[in-house]
Structure 1
Amino acid sequence: MPEISTILTVMFAGLALSATPGPSMLYVLSRSVGQSRAAGLASAIGLGLGGVILAVATALGLAAVFAQFDWMVVALRYVGSAYLIWLGVGMIRGAQASANLTLAPHRVVPKSFSAIVWQGILVELLNPKTVLFFALFLPPFVQAGDGSVQLQLLVLGALVPLTAIPSDIVVAYMGGTITKAINCNRAARLCMAWFGGLVLIGIAFNLHLHLI
């Protein structure tokens, strides 16, 4: 079982990643504004379920690899740390551009709530960037020899999509109000991007330097 400090770090990283408006937020927002709040909530649930399924599948795959090659834990720790730094730097570099973008919900074709949930699951499962994210994000937080590697990966992997669900639910419920607030507060969006980027970079360094 991962340590409490590791669990809190992963949750904090997940919150930092969901702080900046992105494709998932736009997807939920489009459903909420274009159909209904309930549809937005259904899309948020679908994305969350898809994320959990993908996290579990990725964790099981990584656990199998780690069981065969012990050195991969250490190697992927460095690769994953570099990936976190790359994500953080990317958020900071794109902060100004993302702050100046106008968030506009897409038109959607009304669907049943069950169909929306399934669509959300598929959107998450079929996104190669999400698969890459889980494969590189999880390893840095795994402690070799600290209990079951598989259990650590399962717990930490499930935490990532779960941390995004609350913000997605808020977006689904607030809908147009969120759109107006985000578009009017460009300075806040700039600050969120910088904050999220610095948090990810700080976590990456702390994994090796143990500053906190």
Structure 2
Amino acid sequence: MHGTFGLLGIFVIGFVGALTPGPDILLVLRTSLCLGMRAAFVAFLGIASGWVVFMGALYLGLSYVLGNVFVQIALMFVGGVYLAYLAYVLLVNVDYKGAITQINQRPQDKDFRALLGLYFKALGINLSNPKALLFFATIIVPFMEVDLGERIMVLFCALSLPFLGVIVLGNVLRAYLTQKMFMWIDRLCGVLFAFFGAYLFYAIWHILYS
């Protein structure tokens, strides 16, 4: 696809792909609801950094690496383990939940470390997310035949808009939530992270034994 139609196609695919439910956008929504806009934006930066890695691979012509089945299995395994850990943290480890929900009340140095940890958590989730991997390796590659730099910028903007919208929406809704609602948000997110992690292990089993 060339010209304006090609750019429009990239934008629509990126925008819809970002809206598709997954651990990335769930993490940003949960962070915005429970920790506020600043922390949610840090989580978004971590996820966006993962996009930069994938887009860099496309720009350098390394799409075949992203499409390698062994690379996909390795990332799925890491992602499954990490999502299971996050589910455990949100569902079982009460002390940790209490710590992260008080992020804005910490001293500045600890606050910075907490935000840095959140950044790397989001980066790890994105890089090990098979949805992101397959999205860049299979769906996006056919649209990157010409004007690669321009199309990568359009794709980045398209991916960013839904996340920024979720950050704003979560921050608005946050004012109406009670502490008990925060607890149930953590539990719901924990269950969903566990589901996504289990799905990754199922996907690995399906690849190996199908």
> What TM-score, normalized to structure 2?
0.54
- The C-alpha deviation readout for 1:68-93, integer Å capped at 9, x for no partner, is 57345313322222233123322332
Of 163, 188, 192, which aligns to 1:191?
188
Greater displacement, 7-16 / 54-63: 7-16
Count of matched residue pairs: 178
Secondary structure in 1 matching 2:188: helix
Unpaired runs of 5+ residues, structure 2, are 1-9, 108-114
One-letter amino acid of the structure 1 residue matched with residue 91 of structure 2: Q
Greater helix proportion: 2
Instruction: Report percent identity of matched pairs.
Output: 7
Secondary structure in 1 matching 2:198: helix
- Say if 1:157 and 1:92 are closer, same or farther in 2 by CA, change over 3 A: farther
How do 1:40-119 residues align onto structure 2 when only pairs under 5 Å count? 40=37, 43=38, 46-47=41-42, 50=45, 54-64=49-59, 67-68=61-62, 70-74=64-68, 75-98=70-93, 101-102=97-98, 103-104=101-102, 106-107=104-105
State the alpha-carbon separation in 1 of the partners of residues 127 and 82 from structure 2: 14
RMSD: 4.8
- In structure 2, the partner of 1:17 is 27
Unpaired runs of 5+ residues, structure 1, are 29-39, 110-122
- In structure 1, the partner of 2:169 is 170
- Say if 1:68 and 1:158 are closer, same or farther in 2 by CA, change over 3 A: same
The question of whether the paired residues in 2 share the 8 Å contact of 1:16 and 1:197 is answered with no
- Say if 1:10 and 1:199 are closer, same or farther in 2 by CA, change over 3 A: farther
- In structure 2, the partner of 1:148 is 144
> What TM-score, normalized to structure 1?
0.54
The question of whether the paired residues in 2 share the 8 Å contact of 1:56 and 1:154 is answered with no
